[in-house]
Amino acid sequence: QFVLTQPNSVSTNLGGTVKLSCKRSTGNIGSNYVNWYQQHEGRSPTTLISRDDKRPDGVPDRFSGSIDRSSNSALLTIINVQTEDEADYFCQSYSSGIYIFGGGTKLTVL
């Protein structure tokens, strides 16, 4: 089965734009849906993006998901970054009934 690799940490400026990557090791990134989760310190995860690019009700449109086939990666883009966006972000995909999580990226807002 494949591995999803995320950078351990990313820093960005308040009000800026950041792209968090999730690179699939083998196989086509587009073969299985990718979901993105946000987790604040001490809290349960929340779903930011499902099925590559679908935003659940209540998630601000500052968050968007996409697939970059050239790098075999899923991307989470956050525009107009706010202080409350400082959190851990996890990508997740599937392989034959198995969930595969990335290691997570800690986003710091400067």
Partner 1 sequence: EVQLVESGGGLVQPGRSLKLSCAASGFPFSDYYMAWVRQAPTKGLEWVAYISAGGGGTYYRDSVKGRFTISRDNTKSTLYLQMDSLRSEDTATYYCTTIGIPWGQGVMVTVSS
Contact footprint for partner 1 (CB under 8 A): 35, 37, 39, 44-47, 50-51, 56, 88, 90, 92, 96-104
DSSP run (H or E) holding 89: strand 87-95
Comparison of 79 and 100: residue with beta carbon closer to partner 1? 100
CB 62 within 8 A of CB 48: no
The answer to whether the Cα torsion of 109, 12, 54, 92 is positive or negative is: negative
The tally of CA atoms less than 13 A away on the side-chain side of residue 43 is: 12
Q: How far is the CB of 15 from partner 1 (least distance, A)?
A: 28
Q: How far is the CB of 101 from partner 1 (least distance, A)?
A: 5
Comparison of 5 and 79: residue with beta carbon closer to partner 1? 5
Q: How far is the CB of 77 from partner 1 (least distance, A)?
A: 21
The tally of CA atoms less than 13 A away on the side-chain side of residue 3 is: 4
Comparison of 70 and 97: residue with beta carbon closer to partner 1? 97
Distance CA 29, CA 109 (A): 28
Comparison of 62 and 94: residue with beta carbon closer to partner 1? 94
